[in-house]
Amino acid sequence: MCFFWKIFLMNRTRISLPLHYQIIIMLIAGGFFGYFFPSAAPYINWMGDIFLRALNMIIIPLILTSIITGVASVGSGGNLGRIGLKTVSFYVVSTLAAIITGFLLVSIIKPGTGSELGFSTPVENISVAADSFGKTLIEIIPTNIFKSVADGNMLSIIFFAVLFGYFITRINEKPRHSIMELLNALLEVIMKITMFVIKFTPLGVFSISAKVISQQVLMGNDIGEVISRLGLYFITVLTGLLIHGLITLPLSVRLLGQANPLKHLKNMATPLLTAFSTSSSNATLPLTMEAVEFKDGVSNKIASFTLPLGATINMNGTALYECVAVIFIAQAYGIELTHVQQLTIVFTALLAAIGSAGIPMAGLVMMAVVLKAVGLPLEGIGLVLAVDRILDMFRTTINVYGDTCAAVIIAKSEGETLNI
């Protein structure tokens, strides 16, 4: 362990290697460590645990202060409504585009037709989570904001923050100025803490990567064999994610945002690599906000509104994955879906993606909603569970990338001058 710590310090103090390169190196090193020394991996889990706990520690204070100050900075209700409408519209359209991409690919490739998987993983506690989805819209309004904060209910927190920020603009100038000074000071402190935590990202990524790979090895799962048995399904999902991430979203940045998508992608290297390793949009949020504001040059007013909201409701990769997985399950069971059922899958996947929390494996849980909507057995989830953790890393990366693209597009539409 001391060896890797020395390498990390050497990279920072002598070589000054850019952070995203440090993350790539430690991501690969962690994978090798977990594969060749799986029994030793648990001894370094504490690094990943501390890193994720530190990120989670600052998420809610960051969301509250950034959204409140962002909304209050927007000014009038008309401005807030305009930015909010643009943001939500982009999220809905981009998510729908991702779903359609996945739908077309799975319908053309038909990865489940005639497949002999020979295995499925038992699924537990899925139906309970699926039944709770219907309450999502009602529970956006918190009965106790402190309980919502303690429970990490992001939609309720965002709702309260937007409401609080808006009504700051409705009070007299003197108290408004005092509140804004306090909130801006708090936001500055939280961003300083965020920058401090970000410095330890390579070590956290090393530990998380080692843990993920070692768990597969210790469970006796040959990663190559699992992928080969679900090969067409894996390739279908991955192809859809790549099309959306390398074609659809960059085109939207170029055409709608009039910005350079390659520069934007390069600027987002650190949050995207962190999203890939942690499989969590929320955990990546502090790094995403730092990169979008300080590298792309998006104002705090836009970034603080679009990014926390996107981390909660904008799940491009998750929606694509759910659509492909459900149709794959139907194909594997030999069930012919009607046109009505196919349309139901598309629109239910859109709604389920909005309800997915930005936490690892949430997309898998929300898949039960889509399966239930078209009458497919929940046990079908077990067919895709073997490769879900790997695909979760890819789809979370697309989720976060979609959020950053939205921030750039909305900022340009508001007349901001960016660095890309």
CA 165 to chain centre: 25
The answer to whether residue 86 is domain-embedded is yes
Residue 198, H or E segment: helix 173-198
The answer to whether residue 397 is domain-embedded is yes
Average pLDDT over every residue of 365-393: 77
Contact 345, 373 (CB under 8 A): yes
Rounded distance between C-alpha atoms, residue 248 and residue 97, angstroms = 8
Q: What is the pLDDT of residues 333-361, one digit of tens each?
A: 888 888 888 888 888 888 777 655 544 45
Rounded distance between C-alpha atoms, residue 50 and residue 353, angstroms = 29
Q: Which two tokens stand for residue 246?
A: 């390398």
**How many distinct structural domains can be found in the chain?**
1
Q: What is the pLDDT of residues 40-95, one digit of tens each?
A: 888 988 998 898 888 888 888 887 888 888 778 766 566 777 888 899 899 989 99
The answer to whether residue 420 is domain-embedded is no
Average pLDDT over every residue of 291-310: 89
User: Hey, is 112 helix, strand or coil?
Assistant: coil
SS3 content of the chain, % helix, strand, coil (to 5): 80, 0, 20
Query: What CATH number does residue 75 fall under?
Result: 1.10.3860.10
Rounded distance between C-alpha atoms, residue 385 and residue 291, angstroms = 33
Rounded distance between C-alpha atoms, residue 95 and residue 327, angstroms = 17
The pLDDT mean for the chain works out to 81
Average pLDDT over every residue of 385-397: 84
Contact 146, 57 (CB under 8 A): no
Within 13 Å and on the Cβ side, how many CA atoms surround 208?
A: 28
The answer to whether residue 220 is domain-embedded is yes
Q: What is residue 198's predicted lDDT score, i.e. its pLDDT?
A: 81
pLDDT at 136 over 80: no
pLDDT at 392 over 80: yes
Which domain does 270 fall in, by range? 18-413
Contact 196, 20 (CB under 8 A): no
Single-letter residue type at 141:
I
Helix axes of 381-413 and 300-313: crossing angle, nearest 10 degrees? 160
The answer to whether residue 344 is domain-embedded is yes
The answer to whether residue 82 is domain-embedded is yes
Contact 209, 53 (CB under 8 A): no
What Cα–Cα distance (Å) separates residue 18 from each residue in 15, 203, 270?
A: 9, 14, 9
Contact 286, 396 (CB under 8 A): no
The answer to whether residue 4 is domain-embedded is no
The answer to whether residue 394 is domain-embedded is yes
Proportion of the chain above pLDDT 90, given as a percent: 22
pTM: 0.77
